[in-house]
Structure 1
Amino acid sequence: MSRPLGALAATLALLTPALAPGAPPPPAPAIHIEDVAAFYRLYDAAGGHPTPETLQHDYLDAGSPGLRRLASLRKVTGPAIAEAIARRPEIYAGARRCMTVLPAARRRETAALRRLAQLYPQAQFPPITIAVGRGKPVGVTDETGVMIGLEALCAVTWLEPDPEARLTHVLAHEYAHAQQAIAAPAFYNKPNPTVLEASLIEGAAEFTAELISGSVSERWLQAANRGHELAIETAFAADEDSTDLSRWLYNGTLSQPGDNGYWVGYRIAKAYYRNARDKRRALAEILGMTDAKAFLARSGWRPGIALPD
């Protein structure tokens, strides 16, 4: 059950450092949503079946820098989008429910990222781009910014059901990744991370998302794993040095949840933060982590540890 907003606010107030009174609002990134409108203009004009050529020349090639970056990183082409529309038309029709809340989600995300700037003064603010792609991935983040595929994000059945909240919390998670990519690029971009390393990257982003937006991106795990902490985390500890991530990370689908590594990594990051006297320094160490084993040793985490909500 969700905690009342008042209780959540009280908890966050205890966990985060006080902010200077009268300080000017911190900066926030540009959040681009215009590519979504451009896509649906073409989509509607073609009766839901835009041609590969139209998608390539009138949408991708004419799109924002973030859309073009997404296309180059994840092989998003006009033909690939057209094929995805033909194969899964319901994803593109269904994404309209997320499209309608984009302005409100942008306002909420701006507030969340201003909070990030207050808690993490060294934050940098590359842009966020929300666009429409080939049905995957949900999100891509590097030092240049955050790129979200709206149709993929909206199609996941087990994430936060309210689309505005879903966008807010997922964007907060991804923006934490942008900070990791800037602060610790070798660790964030390690080609073959261990289960522990990858879980701490994702868990740090989940913890940061909760701190700045009020919830993690994969909230279902909080309820699903309650009462099973010791068993799950004992199994995790046995696998933490493995480079086979398939049991713990990136194993969900649009309809089947996964990602227990996100949850364990979140709990390790939360233990680290709760045990730290200097919260601002702790968040910087969470986002700038370079040594997973050393971070784990300092966190105070152990399998099954009690961590109050």
Structure 2
Amino acid sequence: MNKKRATKSILLLLLLISLQSCSVFNSGLKTTEKPTGSKLVTFDIDHFYNAFDLAIKDSSNAENIFNNYYFKKGSAGLSDFYKTKIQSKEKFSEFVLAFKEYYQSIRNDITDIKDLENQIKQNFNDFEQLYPEAKFPDVYFLVGKYQSNGTISKNGLLIGTEMLAKTPESDTANWNNDILRISMERNHIPVTVSHELVHFNQDKMRDGNTLLWKSIREGSAEFVAEIISGETDADYKKFNGKELEIWNDFKSDKNKSIWRSWQQESELRPRNAGYWMGYMICKAYSEKIGNKEKAVKDILSIQDYSKFLKESEVEIYLQNKFGT
């Protein structure tokens, strides 16, 4: 894959990618009841760069090299990430080689993330205080091909570190413009982990297939992540001034199964509007009842999403907060 083809691939990903495309497993989750039992697994990153160095020297054999030195040596988390996100060793190796300068430039920033461990564990502890029923899985730090910064599986939280590698010292002059546009700050990793931790604890929420259901599932992860980490996983600055317009669109769409159109950026809505709308609904509910602990417990056990939407009184909340 040359850089022109790889750039087209990134543009396609920009149309399809969500912040987190959460793969939910309702049974067989591997967890511990205490944050101290959760492990941060980073050896897949080391294996990736071992394979990377070999593949650079023998590019014609890159697919086999990544298979033997990265995927076959991988953790349970990498196996899950491959099945749900990477899916093709051929396309993976072609993508990495096409953007080898980028992967090399972020190497030192993602091979050692010990400085973030304390913050991640503190966020886990804060979640336990907020939601005593919480379960805590292992966290796997992986390298993908720019498809997801985070998702979950039955084995734990899966973090795509190549999307979370930008630092104030990063030399971005030669980064592909599309990579630069969707890359996230390295110090944001604990926030992404917090978002995925909430997803892992949504097993008591009733499943569904509507825009409202998906928005609340993603928005609740944003809402709780903000409580425990101080930030949402997404940057919602583009929503300023459009809040009531987006809500009015949402009211007419909420019972439809059209999630993808609410992920993609359009003339009407910024990217990830479904996340934002669910986040606002959860925030409105919490502020209405005035008790974050109860709000989180209620949210993580929703059985009737339409009822919850009504009880949130989100329209009143948005009009009071953003109306003129």
Q: Name 2:129's counterpart in structure 1.
A: 118
Out of 185, 194, 201, the position equivalent to 1:179 is: 201
Q: Deviations over 1:122-159 (max 9, x none)?
A: 00011111111233233221343211222244485456
What is the one-letter code of the residue matched to 2:246?
A: I
Q: Name 1:63's counterpart in structure 2.
A: 74
How far apart, in 2, do the equivalents of 1:39 and 1:45 lie?
Answer: 10
What is the one-letter code of the residue matched to 1:248?
A: W
The TM-score, its normalising length taken from structure 1, stands at: 0.78
Q: Name 2:185's counterpart in structure 1.
A: 162
Q: Name 1:10's counterpart in structure 2.
A: none
Displacement of 1:168: 1.5
How far apart, in 2, do the equivalents of 1:293 and 1:210 lie?
Answer: 24
Displacement of 1:61: 1.4
How far apart, in 2, do the equivalents of 1:95 and 1:247 lie?
Answer: 32
Runs of 4 or more above 6 Å deviation: none
How far apart, in 2, do the equivalents of 1:299 and 1:156 lie?
Answer: 37
Displacement of 1:241: 1.3
Q: Name 1:295's counterpart in structure 2.
A: 308
The TM-score, its normalising length taken from structure 2, stands at: 0.75
Displacement of 1:202: 0.8
Out of 205, 221, 227, the position equivalent to 1:205 is: 221
Alignment of 1:38-117 (within 5 A): 38-47=47-56, 49=59, 51-96=62-107, 98-99=109-110, 102-117=113-128
Secondary structure in structure 1 of the residue aligned to 2:152: strand
Report the RMSD for the aligned CA atoms in angstroms.
Answer: 2.8
Matched, 1:305 2:319: yes
How far apart, in 2, do the equivalents of 1:61 and 1:111 lie?
Answer: 33
How far apart, in 1, do the equivalents of 2:139 and 2:219 lie?
Answer: 21
Structure 1 residues 139 and 198, CA, compared in 2 at 3 Å: closer, same or farther?
same
How far apart, in 1, do the equivalents of 2:229 and 2:108 lie?
Answer: 21
What is the one-letter code of the residue matched to 2:162?
A: E
Displacement of 1:270: 0.6
Identity of aligned residues (%): 27
Q: Is the contact between residue 146 and residue 175 of structure 1 (CA under 8 Å) also seen in structure 2?
A: yes
Q: Is the contact between residue 55 and residue 66 of structure 2 (CA under 8 Å) also seen in structure 1?
A: no
Gaps of 5+ in 1: 1-24
Matched, 1:36 2:65: no
How many equivalent pairs are there? 272
Alignment of 1:281-292 (within 5 A): 281-292=294-305
Structure 1 residues 142 and 274, CA, compared in 2 at 3 Å: closer, same or farther?
farther
